[in-house]
Amino acid sequence: MFKHQKELQFEAKPDRPDPIVAKYLQELIGGQYGEMSVAMQYLFQGWSCRGEEKYKDMIMDIATEEIGHVEMLATMVARLLEDAPIADQQAAMQANPTVGAIISGMNPQHAIVAGLGPRPADSVGNPWSGAYIIASGNLLADFRANLNAESQGRLQVARIYEMIDDQGVKDLLSVLLARDSYHQNLWASAVKELEEKEGSMLVPTTFPRDKERKDIAYDFYNFSQGDESSTGPWASGEALDGEGEYHWYDEPKVEGSAPNLKPVSPKMYGTSENKSEI
C-alpha cells in the first residue's frame, strides 16, 4: 500500500519562470537515468526480492523516496512553466532571430501536450520506457546496476546545476545531489556486504567454476592498437576474485577456423554465385 502526503519533502520553487530550464529538468524526470527509472527499478527489485527481509525493506524505502523525487521535479517543472509568457515569446522570436534561437530550445510538448505541465519524458521529448530498468532477481547484480544508475543520475544533476543560475532550482538540485551521494554509498555498502557474505564477487556466485573455460577466465587480449592497457591492475598479478592470475597477451588467442557456411535453400532467395542453382 502506498499513501500520498501532500507536503513535499523539500521545497520546489524556482526564482522565475523559465521554459528552457523546465526542458533540462525533464531529463531528470524521464530520462534513462532519471527519477522515474530509479523509482521503478527499485520498486520491481523490491517486489521480487526473495532474500533477507532487511534488503527488501531497504529497497522499498529508497524506491518510495524516489517517487517523491519525481513529484518534486514535476512540481518544479510545472512552476517553471506556469507563468511562461508563450505569446510574448513567439512575438520576440519573430522580431529578433537571436532571441528566437534561444527560446527555440523550449520543449513544445510542454505547451501542446501537457498544457504547461511536466511530461513522463526526457529533455528532447522521448517518452520514458520500462526498458530502462533492471530487476534481475539477483541482488548483487541489481545493486551494482543501482550504483551505476545513481552515479549517472548524480552526474547529470551536477551538469544541469552548472548550466543554470536560478537559485531556487539549484536548491532542489543540491538536495538531489546529496541524496544521490548517499544512495551511491548505500548501494556500494550493500554490494560489499553481499560479496563478503556470498564469498565471491562473481554473479552468479554459486555457478560451478568447473563448467567454464577457466584457462581463459583471467586473460586480457590486446585487441586495439597500443599496449598501454598492459600497465593496468587487470593485466598481471592475483585476480580480484582470488581464484586466478591475470595475464596480458599482445595478440588474442585464435582457436577457431574461418567459417564456411553452406548455401541456404533456393526458396530463401539468398545470394548465389552460380545462377544455375536457382
Report the binding-site residues for Mn(2+). 35, 66, 69, 150, 183
Binding site as annotated, residues: 35, 57, 61, 66, 69, 150, 183, 222, 224, 226
- The half-sphere exposure of 2 on its side-chain side, counting CA atoms within 13 A, is 9
Binding site as annotated, residues for Ca(2+): 57, 61, 222, 224, 226
